[in-house]
Amino acid sequence: MRKLADRVENLEESQTIAMARISRELQEQGHNVISLSLGEPDFNTPEYIGNAAKQAIDDGFTKYPPISGYGDVREAIAQKFKKDNNLDFKPSQIVVSTGAKQCIANAVLCCVNPGEEVLLPAPYWVSYSQIIELAGGIPVCLDTTIESDFKVTPQQVEQAITAKTRMFIFSSPCNPTGTVYGRDELKELAAVFAKHQQIIVLSDEIYEHINFVGKHESIAQFEEIKNNVIVVNGVSKGYAMTGWRIGYMAAPQDIATACDKMQGQFTSAACSIAQKAAKTAISVTTDDRKKMVDTFHKRRDMVLDLMKDIPGWKTNKPEGAFYVFPDISYYFGKTDGQKIIKTPSDLCMYLLQDAKVALVTGEAFGDNRCIRFSYATSDDLLREAIRRIKESLAKLK
Ligand code: PMP
Ligand code: GLU
């Protein structure tokens, strides 16, 4: 077989996307698979946003846009930061990209040199570690536990910092744990970074709006680290726009300028039509988002309630996003008579084959005790999925 470049040979396939692909293939073969693997809202993009895209075509927005995004779109994003987060950014500090994923890739490629370390509270979102490795950086995991709601402590961060530490990446609300950091917790973390001004903090706030505890808090609010924080956000989750591929970052000017240069060589600007639709999404207030978030909140409660009846299935109380990340290590050492379950991946595969429910192994997120369950699907499917999981787990001895 042809040998390709080391960077891709060493790259792992995104496990969230891989599980979604496997379940689609099984569905095509006629299996009744319930896919709870891919994290995306099961809602359609609201109509007013679609109409804005149609209008953009009619208005002729079909040519290459400026690399970092149209001026009016960046202005609208700057206003969003002021209105929702009380953060001051100039439009020149905003870079619009093809999804929040590209924002993260731009930021890491622009800030991390080969051999430099990036601190990742684990569990972390799948793509962080692979993007860091693509840049030649070294992911340094800070393990957290379910007992502390998967939160990293300032002491842990302090102890992990070396002369080579260049970046800290985290998400709040968190994918995969649903953990939400409060203002005081962020302030304590900021105090650590304030002592180490060489560290850039990448705050992934893509689940900002899917938060069940109230006001979203951003680590960018603390003046002492303001010049070192990159905020990544986007419209994929909060506005059910995963397919439109629009994310954005707000960054210190030198980093935003660097990301503009990087993006100019990789993908050019994000889709012109989708940019205009995203501008409408963030500028116009309707109750679509609230309805969606209320639905996720109710489902979170329902799912946690049903999970109480699954023996050995230990969960935290996720306060945002749309995932539950149960610790399933109780099943390690048990068997279906053919294979012994030793890892979360083993249990995931067993549940896919036996229960026909697709989840994602915690190992994809840097965790070796948990699995991720996305509840971004209908109540009926969630009830049926949990019923099947319970039935299959009961067969393990
Ligand atoms: N960050 C996190 C934590 C995510 O869950 C996702 C989901 N895809 C992304 C970034 C990327 O979002 P996008 O679809 O806008 O690329
Ligand atoms: N962020 C989603 C997830 O975690 C989508 C998949 C992906 O972009 O990797 O499932």
Instruction: Compute the distance from residue 175 Cα to the ligand 2 centre, in Å.
Output: 9
The per-residue pLDDT for range 331-379, each reduced to its tens digit, is: 999 999 999 999 999 999 999 999 999 999 999 999 999 999 999 999 9
pLDDT value, residue 142: 98
Ligand 2 pocket (Cβ < 6 Å) reads: 14, 16-17, 38-40, 101, 126-127, 175
How far apart (Å, rounded) are the C-alpha atoms in residues 392 and 372?
17
From the alpha carbon of 175, which atom of ligand 1 is closest?
Answer: 3
How far apart (Å, rounded) are the C-alpha atoms in residues 328 and 286?
40
Report which bound ligand comes closest to the CA of 364: 2
pLDDT value, residue 180: 98
Report which bound ligand comes closest to the CA of 174: 1
Cβ pair 308, 370 in contact under 8 A: no
How far apart (Å, rounded) are the C-alpha atoms in residues 370 and 177?
10
The per-residue pLDDT for range 261-278, each reduced to its tens digit, is: 999 999 999 999 999 999
How far apart (Å, rounded) are the C-alpha atoms in residues 133 and 380?
40
In this structure, the residue with its CA closest to atom 10 of ligand 2 is 39
Final residue before a domain boundary, out of 233, 258, 283: 283
Q: Are residues 273 and 386 in the same domain?
A: no
Please report whether residue 309 resides in a domain.
Answer: yes
Q: Are residues 304 and 360 in the same domain?
A: yes
Question: CATH no. for residue 233?
Answer: 3.40.640.10
Omega cis (within 30) before 173: yes
The per-residue pLDDT for range 53-95, each reduced to its tens digit, is: 999 999 999 999 999 999 999 999 999 999 999 999 999 999 9
pTM of the model: 0.97
pLDDT band at 19 (very low <50, low <70, confident <90, very high): confident
Total domains present in the chain: 2
Final residue before a domain boundary, out of 283, 299, 322: 283
Please report whether residue 65 resides in a domain.
Answer: yes
The CA-atom distances, in angstroms, between 309 and each of 37, 128, 385, 390 are 22, 34, 13, 8
Token pair of 299, please? 């489902």
From the alpha carbon of 38, which atom of ligand 2 is closest?
Answer: 10
- 131-146 mean pLDDT: 97
In order, the DSSP letters of 73-119 are HHHHHHHHHHHHH-----GGGEEEESSHHHHHHHHHHHH--TT-EEE
| Rg over CA atoms, the chain | 21
